[in-house]
Chain A
Amino acid sequence: MQKLILLIVYSFFVKWFLKIFVGVKFKNAKFLVDEKQFIIVANHNSHLDTMSLMASLPRSIIHKVKPVAAGDHFGKTKFKEKLSSYFINALLIKRGRDKENPENDPIHKMIKALDDGFSLILFPEGSRGVPEEEQPLKKGIGLVLSQRPKVKFVPAYMKGMGKAMPKGDNLIVPHNCTLVYGEPTKIVNTDVDQIVNQIEDYFDKLKISGEI
């Protein structure tokens, strides 16, 4: 049932809304069907980011991909929490680590979702920040990948979303945007800092190719 709802909402309504009204150009994401499990790492400027990534996913795997979202924002009330987990299929986490309470620890929660067979969408920049500006990546992605080194990461770069709907403004003003995907890649080293560096390098390359 949830798969059907996600399909109707994203592959149809959200996708066409983004394409026709907002002006998002999606690059083909069909290659994701061939990947068993992956973590999409993307830059984060706008609420449209998650929408666009979900809408770009191939239909057959849309219910197997969970965007990771901050619990303090998307799980503020019980109602909001239910909505996010049902309609965005979100995995709600705390922003900081909680070592005493592994059930609540964000890294632990993400690894558990991977072990349950889900793929993830992660915004390692953290909060949306100043529109169209990159921030240094947080370490969480490195911690997760170093413990599950077989899972590939897929970099995704989005441009223009922060202009169409920046942080702190809920008015969507149509603006041409693009979403490009990089190749699915395995980490070369299980060292946390090196993983973060590898992803950052990959991001920069994608940014240049995405602008051409």
Chain B
Amino acid sequence: MKNIFHLKVFENNDLLIVVALIFGLLTFASILFFVIGKIKPKANLTELKARTKSWWFMASIFIAATIVNTNISYIAIAFLSFVAFRELYSLLGFRQSDRRAIFLAFISIPIQYYLAYISWYGTFIIFIPVVMFLVLPLRLVLKGDTEGIVKSMALLQWTLMLTVFGLSHMAYLLSLPDIEGFNSGGRGLLLFLVFLTEINDVMQFTWGKLLGKHKIIPKISPNKTWEGFIGGILSTTAIGYFLAFLTPLDTPHVLFVSFMIAFSGFVGDIVVSSVKRDIGVKDTGTSIPGHGGVLDRIDSLAYTAPVFFHMVYFIAY
């Protein structure tokens, strides 16, 4: 019992600084929108306010679940995967006869996160791309309904890769071995990844709103502009530089990794956007006011998590 309430975060100044920074930013945003709302009552801030409110909620949950106790973090990230997987597959229109295979896919979620928990890297990295890739089609074949089976095989594997395999890299960050002289450990890396990914989304949005003129990919996301893209990448890389103390990397590596987070975050965002466009929905759900569904918020994380993990794993471990 004592272990659960043993708040390591308060003994670690590096993590504490970032937690303070997150809440500072949120306070700033809330005050800013409140003041703008008072000065210009006509400005339509409902969505921005809803977003900020949801940010408060998500940041609190994330910090509570991830920083306070590592064991809770694995469960929390696994649950996030579960909700994202459920949300995405529900939209994709599977057949009635796919239910057993989908159930198997659900079972793979706790297994994948358990593998991360026990730090069994070799199996963790092949479980979904190899084991599930071979097993799920077998389950579909045993059911015997061949009409549309190719589509089901492909969709199920892709959904699992995006929402479970990709996100589970966040959990594996926590299982990385200690490096001498690097105090923040896996939590520092996780905080670095999530903070940078989300700040990248916010920065791309903000720069796009402020300066955006030239559309970058109008067929998929009409609101995305070159100005937002470049502004986002530059600010995210700069912020990454200042947060380098959360990682065991030296300056050139931190700059490169931050740049890659910003870039892959953008890619994850437009990939999920194109999927939504194909299905004909604006958001993947309604769980988070102002943001849409869970997947709308973590679409970029599904891309940045594996990119960041493998870069850090290659450079530092």
Query: Which of A's residues lie within 8 Å of B, judged by CB?
Result: 23, 25, 131, 160, 163, 166, 169, 171, 173-176
Residue on A with the closest CB to B87?
A176
CB pair A174 B86 closer than 8 Å: yes
Q: Once the chains bind, are B285 and A176 in contact (CB under 8 Å)?
A: yes
Q: Is the CB of B90 within 8 A of A176?
A: yes
How far apart sit A93 and B102, CA to CA, in the bound complex (Å)?
A: 36
Q: Judging by beta carbons under 8 Å apart, are A23 and B90 in contact?
A: yes
Q: Which of B82, B96, B103, B286 contacts A131 (CB 8 A)?
A: B96
Rounded to whole Å, the gap between the CB of B269 and the closest CB of chain A is 21
Cβ–Cβ contact A163 & B103, under 8 A: no
The residue from A23, A160, A171, A176 contacting B103, defined by CB atoms under 8 A apart: A171
B90 touches which of A169, A171, A175 (Cβ 8 Å)? A175
A contact residues around B100 at 8 Å (CB): 171
With A131-B96, A171-B103: A25-B90 Cβ-Cβ less than 8 Å: no
Q: Any chain A CB within 8 A of the CB of B106?
A: yes
- What 1/0 flags go to B76-113 for Cβ under 8 Å of A? 00000011001101110000100110110010000000
Are A176 and B99 within 8 A (Cβ)?
no
**Residue contact B86 to A176, C-beta cutoff 8 Å:** yes
User: Could you list 20 further interchain pairs (A-B, Cβ under 8 angstroms) beyond the known A171-B103, A175-B89?
Assistant: A23-B83, A23-B86, A23-B90, A25-B286, A131-B96, A160-B90, A163-B96, A163-B99, A166-B96, A171-B99, A171-B100, A173-B99, A173-B102, A173-B106, A174-B82, A174-B86, A174-B106, A175-B90, A176-B86, A176-B90
Closest residue of B by beta carbon distance from A160: B90
* Residues in A whose Cβ lies below 8 Å from that of B99: 163, 166, 169, 171, 173
Which residues of chain B come closer than 8 Å to A166, judged between CB atoms? Answer: 96, 99
In whole Å, how far is B67's beta carbon from the nearest beta carbon of chain A? Answer: 23
Chain B residue contacts of A173, Cβ below 8 A: 99, 102-103, 106
18 contacts between A and B (CB under 8 A): A23-B83, A23-B87, A23-B90, A25-B287, A160-B90, A163-B90, A166-B96, A166-B99, A171-B100, A171-B103, A173-B99, A173-B102, A173-B106, A174-B82, A175-B89, A176-B87, A176-B91, A176-B285
Whole-angstrom CA separation of A176 from B285 in the bound complex:
9
User: Taking CB as reference atom, which chain B residue is nearest A166?
Assistant: B96
B275 to chain A, nearest CB (A): 15
User: Chain B nearest CB: distance from A148 CB in Å?
Assistant: 37
Q: Considering the chains assembled together, what is the distance between the CA atoms of A176 and B83 in angstroms?
A: 9
Bound form: Cα–Cα A174–B100 in Å: 11
Provide the main secondary structure of the chain A interface: loop
How many residues of chain B are within 8 Å of chain A by beta carbon? 16
B57-87 residues with Cβ-Cβ distance < 8 A to A are 82-83, 86-87
Contacts of A176 in B (CB 8 A): 86-87, 90-91, 285
- Complex-state Cα separation, A166 to B94, whole angstroms: 14
A-B contact count (CB 8 A): 32
In angstroms, Cα B43 to Cα A41, docked, is 43
Complex Cα–Cα for A169 and B96 (A): 11
Most buried by B among A25, A171, A175: A175
How far does the alpha carbon of A176 sit from the alpha carbon of B286 in the complex, in Å?
Answer: 11
* CA distance in complex: A131, B97 (Å): 12
For B93, the closest partner residue in chain A by CB is A163
> How many Å from the CB of A169 to the closest CB on chain B?
7
Give CA–CA (A171, B96) in the complex, Å. 12
CA distance A169 to B90 in the complex (A): 18
A residues within 8 A CB of B82? 174
- Closest A-chain residue to B83, C-beta based? A23
CB of B106, distance to nearest CB on chain A (Å): 7
Q: List residues of chain A with CB within 8 A of the CB of B87.
A: 23, 176
- The CA-CA distance from A27 to B102 in the complex, in Å, is 27
Q: Most chain-A Cβ atoms within 10 A of its Cβ — which of B83, B99, B100?
A: B99
Q: Which of B208-262 contact A (CB under 8 A)?
A: none
- Bound CA span A160–B285, Å: 13
- In the assembled complex, which residues on chain B have CB atoms less than 8 Å from the CB atom of A23? 83, 86-87, 90
Q: Considering the chains assembled together, what is the distance between the CA atoms of A39 and B86 in angstroms?
A: 32
A131–B90 Cα gap in the complex (Å)?
14
Question: Separation in Å of the A5 CB from the closest CB of chain B?
Answer: 29
CA distance A171 to B286 in the complex (A): 26
Alpha-carbon distance A25/B87, docked complex (angstroms): 12
**Most chain A CB inside 10 Å of its own CB: which residue of B90, B91, B103:** B90
Residues of A close to B86: CB separation below 8 A:
23, 174-176
Provide the bound-state CA to CA distance between A163 and B82, in Å. 17
CA distance A196 to B179 in the complex (A): 72
Instruction: Kindly supply a per-residue 1/0 record for chain B positions 287-306, scoring 1 wherever the CB is within 8 Å of any chain A CB and 0 otherwise.
Output: 10000000000000000000
Of B86, B87, B102, B103, most A-chain CB atoms within 10 Å: B86
A174 neighbours in B (Cβ, 8 Å):
82, 86, 106
A163 to B91, CA, bound (A): 12
